[in-house]
Amino acid sequence: GAVVSQHPSRVICKSGTSVKIECRSLDFQATTMFWYRQFPKQSLMLMATSNEGSKATYEQGVEKDKFLINHASLTLSTLTVTSAHPEDSSFYICSARDTSGTDTQYFGPGTRLTVL
Amino acid sequence: DQQVKQNSPSLSVQEGRISILNCDYTNSMFDYFLWYKKYPAEGPTFLISISSIKDKNEDGRFTVFLNKSAKHLSLHIVPSQPGDSAVYFCAASGQGAQKLVFGQGTRLTINP
């Protein structure tokens, strides 16, 4: 099956710093990637849709200036959490849409962000 | 407004028996449905999907059934194995829409 990687898998940072998370589709090209956030014991919450070569589309309530998304190539999207605060601590997961076959989204392994 | 609902937060099944996970949706524009399996602190793993033009799709031990009139889909796992213990999410997407709408998840526990 299609493989999506995320880096880093775990990051701890101080309040006020910025953190960049990378999402890569390893064996297919993805014009569209998605960024999710999962709170403990809850479902996945879509934050934004990342489109290669254009601006991301953010879901209602998600601050685009805080969660910067860049999708510079067909295999890489990045999410930067700017000026992180403890309430940004969460599990962030990306997915990539494989349009070459069944149009299925494949997910990365997730990144655990802890802001002290 | 929860467009995709998994009303059972948890399910326990004995090893070797059939596990049936259910999912209901309200948006009649959804035409593609997926099931994902998720372990703690990991990303979801794609299991199986079904298009609205079908009512059944089978892949090994996994079968998904779609009842469009009832806006209901189910995932059958048979025989259930201990490694199937995880949280299962159903998801749906609409015509032309790229993003998925997820249910709340059902925690499946397979007992030996």
In chain A, residues with a C-beta closer than 8 Å to the C-beta of B98 are 32, 34, 49, 97
pLDDT at B95: 63
In chain A, residues with a C-beta closer than 8 Å to the C-beta of B105 are 43
- Is residue B36 within 8 Å of B43, Cβ to Cβ? no
Output B94 or B111, whichever has higher pLDDT.
B111
CA gap A68, A62 in Å, rounded: 11
- Is residue B70 within 8 Å of B21, Cβ to Cβ? no
pLDDT at A51: 87
Q: How far is A36 from chain B (nearest CA, A)?
A: 10
Bridge partners (DSSP) of residue B60 are: none
pLDDT at A29: 87
pLDDT at A99: 74
Express each pLDDT in B16-55 by its tens digit: 999 999 999 999 999 999 999 999 888 999 999 999 999 9
pLDDT at A39: 82
pLDDT at A30: 87
**Tens-digit pLDDT string for chain A (116 aa):** 678 999 999 999 999 999 999 999 998 888 899 999 998 777 888 999 998 888 899 999 999 999 999 998 889 999 999 999 999 999 999 999 887 766 788 999 999 999 99
Express each pLDDT in B52-101 by its tens digit: 999 999 999 999 999 999 999 999 999 999 999 999 999 998 866 678 88
Query: Of A71, A73, A50, A53, which is closest to residue A62 (Cα–Cα)?
Result: A50
Paired tokens of A100? 């070459």
- With a CB-CB cutoff of 8 Å, which residues 24-43 of chain B face chain A? 32, 34, 36, 41-43
Determine the residue of chain B that is closest to A45 in CA distance. Answer: B102
